[in-house]
Structure 1
Amino acid sequence: MGESNSMKYYNSFELWTQTPNQYQLDVCNMIVQKIPQDVKSILDVGSGNGIITNQLANKYERVCALDISEEALKHVKTEKVIGSIDQLPFSDGEFDLILISDVLEHLPPDVFHEGVKELQRVAKKYVLVVTPFQEKLDFGQMTCIHCRTEFHVNLHIHSISKKTIEDAFCSNFKIKEIAFSGDEWPHIPLYAKYIKSLYSFSNNWEHAVCPQCGVKQNDNRFVYGKKETDPKFYHTVIDSFHKVAEQFRMEEFSFNECLFLLEKNAGNNMQDDSSIHLILESKVPFDSIEIISDGKWNIDFSNPFFERNHTVYFSPKPYVLSNNNLNLSNIIKEQDKEYRVIGPKEDGSNHSIFIIPKFTENEFALSITYQDISTEALMVNVYDREKSYVPIDQLDNKGDMQWKTKKITVPSGIKCPPEGFVFELAVQGGFREYHPIKYVSVEGLEQQNRIVTPIKKDNGKTIISLDDILPELIHTNCFVRFYFSTTKDDQDTVPSFLEVNGTKIWLQSVVLNGRGFVELPSEVFATFFEHRHTDDKEDVAFLRNRASFTVNNQEKLKKNQNVEAELQARVAQFDELHQKYEKELVKNQNIEAELQARVVQFNELHKKYEATLVKIQNVEAEREQYKLMKEKYEADIVQNQNLIASLQQRIKELENRTVLDFILKRKR
């Protein structure tokens, strides 16, 4: 039954006719770019509707799509085969490269194990794996509107990590490249299951199909079973998670899809520890290169990596919002300064917003670096979910053209939304003048810049060693900033990657105004390299001190212990609430079942009533007809009686007249 219901999901027409979003297109482009040049034949295992396969069809000698869904393969425009990953109908080494995108996470353990062996058998040179990376499966759960079974909206079973890939493939393959793309994960790791179980949170994706009962979740017949979140409970979870979120930020990636390019070889190729190098590929030489270490709650308005076009729940990093609705410019370069401008904008919403993850319940100081070129006061407000935007200070402008730093106190007790501290820059009555903003920092968290000397330049490659600053890379927001020796700007990105023992880990880069940035994501270094320092007590202390900035190691440990104790206490409270909720849920289910039974009884009685009503209406109609006939008959009787009386009167008159005539005749 489970298998057939799963196939109902995979053979769903709606699943394969949806228009791909931009993140899916980005993943497709990443896959196409990472296919090695010596590949001539490709097998796409789990091709789906061919969103990738169709792009590759005319570029290689042979491209074949394989999927278990006949409905999906209807959209594929090249060679296609219905089949399963654990029984590939191909000979050994038949394809140079096997692409398997968003498949491994769906496979039951036995199919996963056999499927991996089949991929290695049929692949001649490469296996290209694309998968959701380190997914928090709990947050993808939803509740069936019919049978109340809990299941993943996309029927995911596994959370894939780098170790998963190594354990599965690296006895015969080595990891040649790693790259990231796609959408962002919702940043709610541990608390996802508590939100779901306590507050009946459910994703309720309408196209999902329950693997237990097979009901599609847009079936209106079962709408009574949908679950909703109580806002009060939701706010409780928000406040609780804000207090412990820092413990989980190192495991949160900015992109939810990871690409692993695996190359076939003859030996054991598990990755060992070696030097970490950052490599920049550029035809234009660099004038200078520096590594920027930013305090983890600071925002550099001149750095494009601090920009987002939408808000994110529990983001691991601060950011400034930049979209068409907000009064914020693009990055401007002027002499030795780079900044953004807040001011008048057509169709703007008359404010600008930047967000810092909630890292404290206490009062703290915020510093804003800006240029004083205006005479209007720029208000600084912070959002409280119970009070809306609360004014906390303002930038007093005199128009003297000087760059200044204003220290602002953020009060304690702010009821933050899931995004964290949401700050608004606005002018009462709307913007009339412009306000350049360069930097926002939390007191005690200073930006550190260091010029680096590349250890090697070869064929347009600039190589930088990162081993000495690994602890800093893990626990701060780090970037490489480089300046070109020429102002010519003929590229919008510089290919950048980490290289460790022959494995490339691709990074994001941006080129703007004759300079560029490469983000060095702390989560990448924490996930792939932190184990190198965990055996050294001095390094561990250094990491913790760099992570806290303002407290020493003992205070950090004590704080973590207190947070852990508080978390355990809240978990106990949540469990108690959960038990009460389950009891109430059973009561509600019983009431609902009784209500449904009464509805059935009512429907039966209603049918009987309708039939009886028809009979009564028929009798009433007959009675009315009889009444009319009776009235007519009675009228006829009266008329006839009158006629008889009239006739009798006439007869009597005639009789009298006859007698009179007889008497008269006798007298004559």
Structure 2
Amino acid sequence: MEDPTESLKQRRSFFVMGSTQLEISDEDTMDLTAYRNNEQEKTRIADLMRMVPETVKSVIDIGARDGFLSKELTNYCPSVTALDLEMPVIDHPNVRCLKGDATALQFPDASFDLVFCSEVLEHIPSPALEQACSELGRIADQYVLIGVPYMQDIRHGRTTCYSCGKTNPPWAHVNSFDETRLKLLFPDFEVVRINFVGKGEPGTNNLSAYLLNLAGNPFGTYIQEEPCVHCGMRLKPPPSRNLTQKVLTRVAYTVRRAQIPFTPARGNWIHVLFRKRGVNPEKEKHAPATCGLSAKLGLHPSRSDA
């Protein structure tokens, strides 16, 4: 990512959502429609749908948000339940909308053939994270399908809350995940398949992160809908920087650029299909693996650890 210092002079900022760079003005907010139409987001969603086993008849979408993925899931499963902290509003005859908390799901054990959870776990701090994963596993009769950013460096893209003064991780992502951590969160399940999608944004380093904190984190993800993880207030755009903050910003980006050539390539997202131990896999079917951007990076787009 190039040093965006000059862009701020025109009161425009650059933000990175995964590996997708979006340019916004101070008046802009996150446009989900534009984001859904981004090619990398289309690739991510297509890969998740390919991983849905053909045998499932019922699925619950945890963290349904605007219902986009819930409606996509109706193409692969006849019965979809969409759940979020606020009641989802989804106009589709095969989608049932419910309000609920992933850490305390009001369903009996083994209620759904598939529990689908994408872009949610990175927002849940411990120990609630472990409780949520336990609940997902409890209500799953056969499978759990998880999608999260892969090895995200949550020091990069941080914001400063100008209500409480504290530092926030980008997009309120309080967790970073790799294969090992995900497996540990679902001890009663075995891995059927792991896919890596997209090209991950290079991380940062402690010095650059420290300098940007001193500069007020001027290029963080201020367009996010998620509030401050500390005080709950909506994030406000950063004020104009003084000369010292501008110098700190430039030094921070110079140091970060110097490390990027030595940063290994990695996928932007990791998708893991888990199967409950003891479930008969004989009738299990999936669409062929996608090669896409992960293959171009030299990564393995799909593998089975079962």
Tell me which interval the TM-score lies in, with the shorter structure as reference length.
0.7 to 0.9
Structure 1 residue aligned with 2:67, among 41, 44, 50? 50
1:263 alignment partner in structure 2: 275
Deviation at 1:85, TM superposition (A): 0.9
2:155 counterpart of 1:138? yes
Residues 1:210 and 2:210 aligned together: no
Find the counterpart in structure 2 of residue 74 from structure 1: 89
SS at match of 1:113: helix
1:508 matches 2:285: no
Task: Tell me if the contact between 1:143 and 1:151 (Cα under 8 Å) persists in the aligned partners.
Answer: yes
Q: C-alpha separation between the residues in 2 aligned to 1:126 and 1:246?
A: 39
**How many residue pairs were aligned?**
258
Query: Equivalents in 1 of 2:169, 2:91: separation in Å?
Result: 27
Q: Any gaps of 5 or more consecutive residues in structure 1?
A: 1-13, 268-494, 497-505, 511-517, 526-668
Once residues 52 and 296 of structure 2 are traced to their aligned partners in structure 1, the CA distance between those partners, rounded to angstroms, is: 24
Q: Which one has the bigger helix percentage?
A: 1
Counterparts in 2 of 1:15 and 1:519: CA distance versus 1, 3 Å: closer
Q: Which runs of 5+ in 2 are unaligned?
A: 1-28, 280-287, 302-306
Question: What is the distance in 2 between the residues matched to 1:134 and 1:173?
Answer: 21
Distance 1:122 1:49, change over 3 A: same
For the 8 Å contact 2:157–2:221, the answer to whether it is kept is: no
Compute the TM-score of the two structures, normalised by the length of structure 1. 0.35
Q: Helix, strand or coil for the counterpart of 1:108?
A: coil
Q: Give, in whole Å, the separation in 2 of the partners of 1:224 and 1:262.
A: 41
> 1:65 touches 1:81 (CA, 8 Å); kept in 2?
yes
Residue 275 of structure 2 aligns to which amino acid in structure 1? E
Q: Distance in 1 between matches of 2:52 and 2:216?
A: 44
**2:123 partner letter:** H
Among 84, 94, 118, the residue aligned to 2:135: 118
Q: How does 1:540-619 map to 2 (within 5 A)?
A: none
Closer/same/farther in 2, CA of residues 155 and 76 from structure 1, 3 Å limit:
farther
| TM-score normalised by structure 2 residue count | 0.72
Distance in 2 (alpha carbons) for counterparts of 1:148 and 1:86: 29
Q: Quote the offset at 1:28 in angstroms.
A: 1.4
Q: Which amino acid aligns with 2:158?
A: Q
SS for the counterpart of 2:193 is: strand
Name the Cα RMSD after superposition: 3.1
- Whether contact under 8 Å (1:204, 1:226) holds in the other structure is no
- The amino acid across from 1:175 in the alignment is V
The 1:137–1:125 alpha-carbon spacing in structure 2 relative to 1, beyond 3 Å, is same
Secondary structure at the counterpart of residue 139 of structure 1: coil
| Alignment-derived partner of residue 191 in structure 2 | 175
Question: Could you tell me which residue of structure 2 aligns to residue 28 of structure 1?
Answer: 45
Residue 196 of structure 1 corresponds to 212
Amino acid paired to 2:149:
P
Amino acid corresponding to residue 104 of structure 1 in structure 2 = L
Q: Which has the higher contact order (CA 8 A, sep 6+)?
A: 2
Report the equivalent of 2:126: 109
Aligned equivalents of 1:508, 1:213: Cα separation in 2: 40
- 1:191 CA drift (Å): 4.6
Residue pair 2:67, 2:89 contacting (<8 A) in 1 also:
no
Q: In the alignment, is the contact (CA less than 8 A) between 2:155 and 2:204 conserved in 1?
A: no
Matched-pair contact (CA < 8 Å) for 1:104–1:112: yes
Bigger Cα Rg: 1
Structure 1 residues 207 and 117: alpha-carbon distance in aligned structure 2, compared to 1, 3 A threshold:
closer
What is the alpha-carbon distance in structure 2 between the residues aligned to residue 160 and residue 63 of structure 1? Answer: 27
Distance of 1:24 and 1:43 partners within structure 2: 21
Between 1:48-57 and 1:122-131, the stretch displaced more is 48-57
Partner SS, residue 47 of structure 1: coil
Distance (whole Å) between structure 2 residues aligned to residue 197 and residue 239 of structure 1: 15
Which position in structure 2 is the counterpart of 1:453? none
- Of residues 164, 178, 182 in structure 1, which corresponds to 2:181? 164
Mark the CA change 1:28 to 1:508 in structure 2 (over 3 Å): closer, same or farther: closer
Task: For 2:238 and 2:76, locate their aligned partners in 1 and report how far apart those are by CA, in whole Å.
Answer: 51
Shift of 1:16: 8.1
Whole-angstrom distance in 1 between the partners of 2:296 and 2:223: 37
Q: Does 1:240 align with 2:255?
A: yes
Q: Which residue of 2 aligns with 1:521?
A: 298
CA contact (8 A) 1:65 1:76 kept: no
Counterpart residue type for residue 236 of structure 1: V
In structure 2, distance between residues paired with 1:240 and 1:154: 23
Letter in 2 for 1:31: L
Partner SS, residue 44 of structure 1? strand
Deviation at 1:29, TM superposition (A): 1.3
Contact 1:16–1:48 (8 Å) recurs in 2: no
Q: Distance in 2 between matches of 1:226 and 1:94?
A: 52
Supply the distance in 2 between the matched residues of 1:178 and 1:204 (Cα, whole angstroms): 28
Q: Which residue of 2 aligns with 1:94?
A: 111
Following superposition, the deviation at residue 243 of structure 1 comes to: 4.7
- Give 1:288's aligned residue: none
Q: Which amino acid aligns with 1:259?
A: H
The equivalent residue for 2:14 is none
Q: Deviations over 1:197-231 (max 9, x none)?
A: 2433331514442344444335xxxx685657855
Instruction: Quote the Cα distance in structure 2 between the aligned partners of 1:108 and 1:56.
Output: 27
Residue 134 of structure 1 aligns to a residue whose secondary structure is: coil
Q: Which amino acid aligns with 2:42?
A: L
Please report how far the alpha carbon of residue 138 of structure 1 lies from its aligned counterpart in structure 2 after TM superposition: 1.0
* C-alpha distance in structure 2 between counterparts of 1:16 and 1:44, whole Å: 22
Q: How much has 1:64 moved relative to structure 2?
A: 0.5
Residue identity (%):
22
